[in-house]
Protein backbone atom coordinates (compact mmCIF):
# COMPACT_ATOMS: atom_id res chain seq x y z
CA UNK A 1 0.00 0.00 0.00
CA UNK A 2 1.69 3.18 -1.17
CA UNK A 3 0.61 5.38 1.72
CA UNK A 4 2.49 6.94 4.63
CA UNK A 5 1.05 8.79 7.55
CA UNK A 6 1.95 12.45 7.23
CA UNK A 7 3.68 12.75 10.59
CA UNK A 8 5.82 9.67 10.02
CA UNK A 9 6.72 10.84 6.52
CA UNK A 10 7.91 14.25 7.73
CA UNK A 11 10.00 12.78 10.53
CA UNK A 12 11.56 10.12 8.36
CA UNK A 13 12.41 12.56 5.60
CA UNK A 14 14.52 14.54 8.06
CA UNK A 15 16.35 11.35 9.05
CA UNK A 16 16.91 10.40 5.41
CA UNK A 17 18.16 13.85 4.43
CA UNK A 18 20.60 14.16 7.35
CA UNK A 19 21.83 10.60 6.82
CA UNK A 20 22.36 11.28 3.12
CA UNK A 21 24.51 14.29 3.97
CA UNK A 22 26.70 12.66 6.61
CA UNK A 23 27.31 9.55 4.47
CA UNK A 24 28.73 11.66 1.65
CA UNK A 25 32.44 12.38 1.27
CA UNK A 26 33.19 15.19 3.78
CA UNK A 27 33.55 18.72 2.41
CA UNK A 28 33.52 22.24 3.86
CA UNK A 29 29.84 22.71 3.04
CA UNK A 30 28.93 19.65 5.10
CA UNK A 31 30.83 20.94 8.12
CA UNK A 32 29.22 24.36 7.78
CA UNK A 33 25.78 22.75 7.70
CA UNK A 34 26.22 20.75 10.91
CA UNK A 35 24.38 23.32 13.10
CA UNK A 36 21.40 23.36 10.72
CA UNK A 37 21.31 19.57 10.54
CA UNK A 38 21.48 19.35 14.32
CA UNK A 39 18.63 21.84 14.64
CA UNK A 40 16.47 19.87 12.21
CA UNK A 41 16.99 16.70 14.25
CA UNK A 42 16.29 18.44 17.55
CA UNK A 43 12.86 19.49 16.28
CA UNK A 44 11.73 15.90 15.76
CA UNK A 45 9.25 14.58 18.34
CA UNK A 46 10.68 11.09 18.82
CA UNK A 47 14.01 9.41 19.42
CA UNK A 48 14.52 7.90 15.94
CA UNK A 49 16.89 10.67 14.76
CA UNK A 50 19.02 10.63 17.92
CA UNK A 51 21.81 8.32 16.64
CA UNK A 52 22.53 10.90 13.94
CA UNK A 53 23.45 13.47 16.57
CA UNK A 54 26.49 11.36 17.44
CA UNK A 55 27.59 11.39 13.81
CA UNK A 56 27.24 15.17 13.72
CA UNK A 57 29.32 15.40 16.90
CA UNK A 58 32.00 13.32 15.17
CA UNK A 59 31.98 15.60 12.13
CA UNK A 60 32.10 18.76 14.22
CA UNK A 61 34.96 17.50 16.35
CA UNK A 62 37.44 16.53 13.62
CA UNK A 63 39.64 18.33 11.11
CA UNK A 64 38.37 18.05 7.54
CA UNK A 65 41.42 16.17 6.31
CA UNK A 66 41.11 13.67 9.16
CA UNK A 67 37.44 13.18 8.31
CA UNK A 68 38.28 12.61 4.66
CA UNK A 69 40.94 10.05 5.45
CA UNK A 70 38.58 8.23 7.81
CA UNK A 71 35.88 8.22 5.14
CA UNK A 72 38.24 6.85 2.48
CA UNK A 73 39.56 4.18 4.84
CA UNK A 74 36.03 3.17 5.76
CA UNK A 75 34.15 3.23 2.48
CA UNK A 76 36.59 3.47 -0.43
CA UNK A 77 39.28 0.99 0.60
CA UNK A 78 37.05 -1.83 1.81
CA UNK A 79 34.13 -3.62 0.19
CA UNK A 80 33.08 -4.64 3.69
CA UNK A 81 31.41 -1.24 4.03
CA UNK A 82 30.04 -0.76 0.51
CA UNK A 83 27.52 2.09 0.20
CA UNK A 84 25.93 0.45 -2.85
CA UNK A 85 22.74 -1.33 -1.84
CA UNK A 86 22.62 -4.00 -4.53
CA UNK A 87 26.25 -4.99 -3.95
CA UNK A 88 25.21 -6.66 -0.70
CA UNK A 89 22.49 -8.74 -2.32
CA UNK A 90 23.84 -9.36 -5.82
CA UNK A 91 27.60 -8.88 -5.62
CA UNK A 92 29.50 -8.33 -8.85
CA UNK A 93 27.21 -10.50 -10.95
CA UNK A 94 25.28 -10.18 -14.19
CA UNK A 95 22.05 -9.84 -12.24
CA UNK A 96 23.32 -6.67 -10.58
CA UNK A 97 23.25 -4.85 -13.89
CA UNK A 98 19.53 -5.54 -14.13
CA UNK A 99 19.01 -4.39 -10.55
CA UNK A 100 20.81 -1.11 -11.17
CA UNK A 101 18.50 -0.56 -14.10
CA UNK A 102 15.55 -0.94 -11.74
CA UNK A 103 16.89 1.85 -9.53
CA UNK A 104 17.20 4.11 -12.57
CA UNK A 105 13.65 3.22 -13.57
CA UNK A 106 12.36 4.31 -10.15
CA UNK A 107 14.13 7.65 -10.53
CA UNK A 108 12.67 8.20 -13.99
CA UNK A 109 9.17 7.26 -12.85
CA UNK A 110 9.33 10.00 -10.21
CA UNK A 111 9.18 12.59 -12.97
CA UNK A 112 12.42 14.22 -11.81
CA UNK A 113 15.82 14.29 -13.45
CA UNK A 114 18.46 12.95 -11.06
CA UNK A 115 22.14 13.70 -11.69
CA UNK A 116 24.03 10.68 -10.37
CA UNK A 117 27.37 12.54 -10.54
CA UNK A 118 29.00 9.39 -11.89
CA UNK A 119 27.77 7.21 -9.02
CA UNK A 120 25.83 3.99 -9.52
CA UNK A 121 22.10 4.55 -8.93
CA UNK A 122 22.01 2.33 -5.82
CA UNK A 123 24.46 4.61 -3.97
CA UNK A 124 22.94 4.92 -0.50
CA UNK A 125 23.33 8.70 0.00
CA UNK A 126 21.61 9.22 -3.36
CA UNK A 127 18.75 6.86 -2.50
CA UNK A 128 18.29 8.63 0.84
CA UNK A 129 18.28 12.07 -0.74
CA UNK A 130 15.79 10.91 -3.36
CA UNK A 131 13.56 9.59 -0.58
CA UNK A 132 13.81 12.78 1.45
CA UNK A 133 13.35 15.32 -1.33
CA UNK A 134 11.77 13.76 -4.41
CA UNK A 135 9.52 10.75 -3.74
CA UNK A 136 9.28 9.56 -0.12
CA UNK A 137 6.98 6.67 -1.00
CA UNK A 138 8.98 5.16 -3.87
CA UNK A 139 12.25 5.86 -2.05
CA UNK A 140 11.03 4.22 1.13
CA UNK A 141 10.00 1.17 -0.88
CA UNK A 142 13.59 0.91 -2.14
CA UNK A 143 14.91 1.13 1.42
CA UNK A 144 12.51 -1.58 2.58
CA UNK A 145 13.38 -3.78 -0.41
CA UNK A 146 17.07 -3.44 0.47
CA UNK A 147 16.64 -3.63 4.23
CA UNK A 148 19.05 -6.58 4.33
CA UNK A 149 21.75 -4.50 2.63
CA UNK A 150 21.27 -1.70 5.15
CA UNK A 151 21.48 -4.11 8.08
CA UNK A 152 24.60 -5.84 6.76
CA UNK A 153 26.23 -2.45 6.29
CA UNK A 154 25.19 -1.41 9.79
CA UNK A 155 26.64 -4.56 11.35
CA UNK A 156 29.90 -4.19 9.41
CA UNK A 157 30.28 -0.56 10.53
CA UNK A 158 29.55 -1.48 14.16
CA UNK A 159 32.26 -4.14 14.00
CA UNK A 160 34.59 -1.51 12.58
CA UNK A 161 33.70 0.82 15.50
CA UNK A 162 32.78 3.44 12.92
CA UNK A 163 30.74 6.51 13.90
CA UNK A 164 28.97 6.11 10.57
CA UNK A 165 27.20 3.04 11.98
CA UNK A 166 24.83 5.37 13.80
CA UNK A 167 23.76 7.00 10.53
CA UNK A 168 22.77 3.65 9.04
CA UNK A 169 21.15 2.59 12.32
CA UNK A 170 18.99 5.71 12.25
CA UNK A 171 17.77 4.82 8.76
CA UNK A 172 17.05 1.23 9.78
CA UNK A 173 15.06 2.49 12.77
CA UNK A 174 12.57 4.15 10.41
CA UNK A 175 11.75 0.84 8.69
CA UNK A 176 9.23 -1.79 9.85
CA UNK A 177 10.25 -4.35 12.46
CA UNK A 178 13.30 -4.66 14.63
CA UNK A 179 16.84 -4.77 13.29
CA UNK A 180 18.44 -8.23 13.08
CA UNK A 181 21.10 -8.93 15.70
CA UNK A 182 23.58 -10.76 13.48
CA UNK A 183 24.38 -11.67 9.89
CA UNK A 184 22.54 -14.98 10.07
CA UNK A 185 19.32 -13.16 10.90
CA UNK A 186 19.94 -10.72 8.05
CA UNK A 187 20.55 -13.52 5.57
CA UNK A 188 17.30 -15.14 6.69
CA UNK A 189 15.52 -11.80 6.23
CA UNK A 190 16.83 -11.61 2.66
CA UNK A 191 16.08 -15.25 1.89
CA UNK A 192 19.77 -15.90 1.17
CA UNK A 193 21.75 -18.96 2.24
CA UNK A 194 25.15 -17.51 1.34
CA UNK A 195 26.73 -14.15 0.47
CA UNK A 196 26.38 -12.84 -3.11
CA UNK A 197 28.90 -14.14 -5.59
CA UNK A 198 31.40 -12.57 -7.95
CA UNK A 199 31.48 -13.16 -11.70
CA UNK A 200 34.48 -12.06 -13.80
CA UNK A 201 32.26 -10.38 -16.34
CA UNK A 202 31.99 -6.85 -15.01
CA UNK A 203 28.96 -4.63 -15.24
CA UNK A 204 27.81 -2.80 -18.29
CA UNK A 205 28.91 0.81 -17.87
CA UNK A 206 26.29 3.12 -16.41
CA UNK A 207 26.51 6.57 -17.84
CA UNK A 208 25.48 9.72 -16.10
CA UNK A 209 21.74 10.32 -16.15
CA UNK A 210 20.40 13.82 -16.25
CA UNK A 211 18.72 14.33 -12.87
CA UNK A 212 19.40 17.35 -10.40
CA UNK A 213 19.38 15.74 -6.99
CA UNK A 214 22.89 16.56 -5.90
CA UNK A 215 22.86 20.24 -6.80
CA UNK A 216 22.08 20.94 -3.14
CA UNK A 217 25.02 18.96 -1.78
CA UNK A 218 28.64 19.96 -1.57
CA UNK A 219 31.54 19.19 -3.85
CA UNK A 220 32.70 15.76 -4.86
CA UNK A 221 35.95 13.96 -4.37
Q: Which CATH number belongs to the domain containing residue 154 in this structure?
A: 1.10.3480
Query: Does residue 162 form part of some domain?
Result: yes
Section 203-214 average pLDDT? 34
Q: Is the confidence at residue 171, as pLDDT, over 80?
A: yes
Query: Does residue 198 form part of some domain?
Result: yes
- Residue 169: band (very low, low, confident or very high) from pLDDT cuts 50, 70, 90: very high
Query: Does residue 86 form part of some domain?
Result: yes
Tell me what percent of the residues of the chain surpass a pLDDT of 90.
Answer: 51
- Residue 187: band (very low, low, confident or very high) from pLDDT cuts 50, 70, 90: confident
Global pTM?
Answer: 0.79
In this predicted model, which residue has the larger pLDDT, 210 or 17? 17
Query: Does residue 221 form part of some domain?
Result: no
Query: Does residue 202 form part of some domain?
Result: yes
Q: Is the confidence at residue 123, as pLDDT, over 80?
A: yes
Section 169-194 average pLDDT? 80
3-state helix vs strand vs coil in the chain, percent to 5: 60, 5, 35
Query: Does residue 1 form part of some domain?
Result: no
Kindly tell me the burial class for residue 194, based on how many C-beta atoms sit within 10 Å of its own C-beta (0-12, 13-18, 19 or more): exposed
As for how many domains the chain has, the answer is: 1
- Residue 215: band (very low, low, confident or very high) from pLDDT cuts 50, 70, 90: very low
- Residue 208: band (very low, low, confident or very high) from pLDDT cuts 50, 70, 90: very low
- Cα 105 from Cα 5, distance rounded (Å): 25
Query: Does residue 161 form part of some domain?
Result: yes
In this predicted model, which residue has the larger pLDDT, 139 or 184? 139
In DSSP terms, which residues pair with 53 in a beta bridge?
Answer: none
pLDDT tens figures, 136-147: 999 999 999 999
Task: Quote the domain boundaries for residue 125.
Answer: 6-216
pLDDT at 80: 86
Q: Is the confidence at residue 209, as pLDDT, over 50?
A: no
Query: Does residue 60 form part of some domain?
Result: yes
pLDDT at 94: 65
How many of the other CB atoms lie within 10 Å of CB of 217?
Answer: 19
pLDDT tens figures, 47-73: 667 889 999 999 999 999 999 999 999
Amino acid sequence: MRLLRGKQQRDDRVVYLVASRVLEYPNPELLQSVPQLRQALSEQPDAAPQPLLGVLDHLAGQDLEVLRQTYVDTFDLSRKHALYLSYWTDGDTRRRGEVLGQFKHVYRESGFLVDTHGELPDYLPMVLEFTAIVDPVAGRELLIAYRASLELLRIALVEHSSPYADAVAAVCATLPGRSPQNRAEVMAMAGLDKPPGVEPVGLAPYGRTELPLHAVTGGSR
